[in-house]
Amino acid sequence: MDEEWYDEDAGPVVRPYAVTGGRTRPAANRALELVALVSTTAHGRAMLRNLDPEQQDIVLLCQHIQSIAEISAQLSLPVGVARVLVGDMIDAGLVHVTRPTRPTERPDVALMEKVLDGLQTL
Amino acid sequence: MDFRPSRTNTTGSALNPVKIIIAGGFGAGKTTFVGAVSEIPPLTTEAALTSASLGIDDTSQVSAKTTTTVAMDFGRITLLDSVILYLFGTPGQDRFWFMWDELVLGAIGAIVLVDTRRLSDSFPAVDYFEERDIPFLVAVNQFDGSKAYTLDDVRNALDIDARRPIVFCDARRRESVRQALIALVRHALDVVAAETRQRGLLSEASAHVD
C-alpha cells in the first residue's frame, strides 16, 4: 500500500530522545508513563563501566524492576530528566521497558479483575 | 530494534503496571494511606516547574523566574500475576491541575480522602473526578475521635451521587486501606460494566462495527 508503514502511534522515526542535547522534556507525544517499568538488560550490565554516572545509577537501580516514578525518586531526578535518560538508554539497548497496555485509558476489565483478585488475597 | 518501547507490551513480558490516585486536601492523610499498604516506604518524586508553567494568577506567590517543584508521594504494591499497583498521592496544591491530568491518565480510578474537620478541602478533588467521569469513591478518614458525622452527613455535605461508594477508612491501618482499594476497584468495574451496557444499546441501534 502507498501509505506510510507507520502510524502516529509509532512516534517519530527518529526518536526525540536520540537528539536530546540537554532538553528535559521529550517531545510531547509518547512520553514514558510514570508507571512504565524499566529493567536493565544484559547489554546494560555489560556496558556499566562505559556509561555516564546517571546511566550507571539507572542500570544498577533497575536490576530490580523500577518505574519511571521510582527512578526519579530514588535518584532525585525530576521526572522529565528521568524520562529523557531512560529514553536514551532504551534506544541504546541498556534497559528494557514495559509500558501500560492502555496508557491513556482505564485498564481493561481482565486486568482490573486481576487487580481486584490481587488486593483480595493481599 | 526490538528494545524500543512499543505501543503494546513488549514480547515475553507479562508485567502489568497499573495505578490508583489518592486525592484529598492537604493533611487529609494521603501519604499515611499510601504508606499503610505500600511495600516500599512512600517515595516522593518531583516535577520541576518554571514560573512560566504556572498560572498567571499564581505569580503573587511565585516571583518571576523561580522554579517550583511539585511533589507527589507514591507507593507500590506487587500483586499476583505480575501486576504492579502504584498509588499516587496528588500534589497538595489544587492549582497544579495539569499534573493531575497526567496522573489520572490510564488510572483505574481515584480515592478522595476526606477529613471531616475540613470537608471543603475535598471539594476540588470531587469536582475534578466528577467532571472527567473518572471512577472514584470517597473515603472518610477516621482521625482520633472524629466520628461526629455519619456517612450520609458527608454524602450530603459533598453532594455525592447516591450510586457512588463512600466508606470510612483509617488511613493508618493496612486492612482498612486495603478494603478501600478493593471497594474502588469494584466500583471501577461497575462503571465499566455500565458503560459497556450503554455502548451495547447504542451499537445495536447504529449497527456500528468497532
Domain ranges of chain B: 16-205
Question: A103, B106: Cβ pair inside 8 Å?
Answer: yes
* Residue from the list A96, A118, A120 with its beta carbon closest to the beta carbon of B81: A118
Count of Cβ atoms closer than 10 Å to residue B109 Cβ: 22
- Asked which of B88-102, B140-154, B167-181 is least confident by mean pLDDT, the reply is B88-102
* Residue from the list B5, B6, B17 with its beta carbon closest to the beta carbon of A67: B17
pLDDT-derived band at B71 (thresholds 50, 70, 90) equals confident
Q: What pLDDT does residue B35 have?
A: 95
Question: B15, A122: Cβ pair inside 8 Å?
Answer: no
Task: List chain A domain ranges.
Answer: 8-120
Question: B84, A37: Cβ pair inside 8 Å?
Answer: yes
* pTM recorded for the entire structure: 0.81
Q: Is the pLDDT of residue B138 over 80?
A: yes
Mind telling me how many Å the CA of B162 is from chain A's nearest CA? 23
Mind telling me how many Å the CA of B80 is from chain A's nearest CA? 5
In a 3-state reduction of DSSP, which class is residue A86? helix
Mean pLDDT in residue range B47-60: 47
Q: Tens digits of per-residue pLDDT, A7-28?
A: 545 444 444 343 344 554 444 3
Q: What pLDDT does residue B92 have?
A: 65
**pLDDT over 70 percentage in chain B:** 76
Q: Is the pLDDT of residue B48 over 80?
A: no
Q: Is the pLDDT of residue A54 over 70?
A: yes
Question: B16, A101: Cβ pair inside 8 Å?
Answer: yes
Question: A114, B79: Cβ pair inside 8 Å?
Answer: yes
ipTM comes to 0.81
d(CA B102, CA A35) in angstroms, rounded, equals 11
Q: Tens digits of per-residue pLDDT, B149-167?
A: 889 999 999 999 999 999 9
Count of Cβ atoms closer than 10 Å to residue A38 Cβ: 24
Q: What pLDDT does residue B69 have?
A: 65
Q: What pLDDT does residue B148 have?
A: 74
Q: Tens digits of per-residue pLDDT, A23-52?
A: 544 443 468 999 999 999 999 999 999 999
* Residues of chain A with C-beta less than 8 angstroms from the C-beta of B192: 106, 109, 112
Mean pLDDT in residue range B48-54: 48
CB B169 within 8 A of CB B163: no
Q: Spelled out in words, what is the top-level CATH class assigned to the domain B16-205?
A: alpha beta
Question: B45, A79: Cβ pair inside 8 Å?
Answer: yes
pLDDT-derived band at B47 (thresholds 50, 70, 90) equals low
DSSP assignment of chain B = -TTS--SSPPTT---EEEEEEEEESTTSSHHHHHHHH-SSPPEEEEEEEEGGGS-GGGGGTS-TT-EEEEEEEEEEEE-GGGEEEEEEEPPS-TT-HHHHHHHHTT-SEEEEEE-GGGGGGGHHHHHHHHHTT--EEEEEE--TT---S-HHHHHHHHT--TTS-EEEE-TT-HHHHHHHHHHHHHHHHHHHHHHHHHHHHHHHHHT---
Q: What pLDDT does residue B209 have?
A: 54
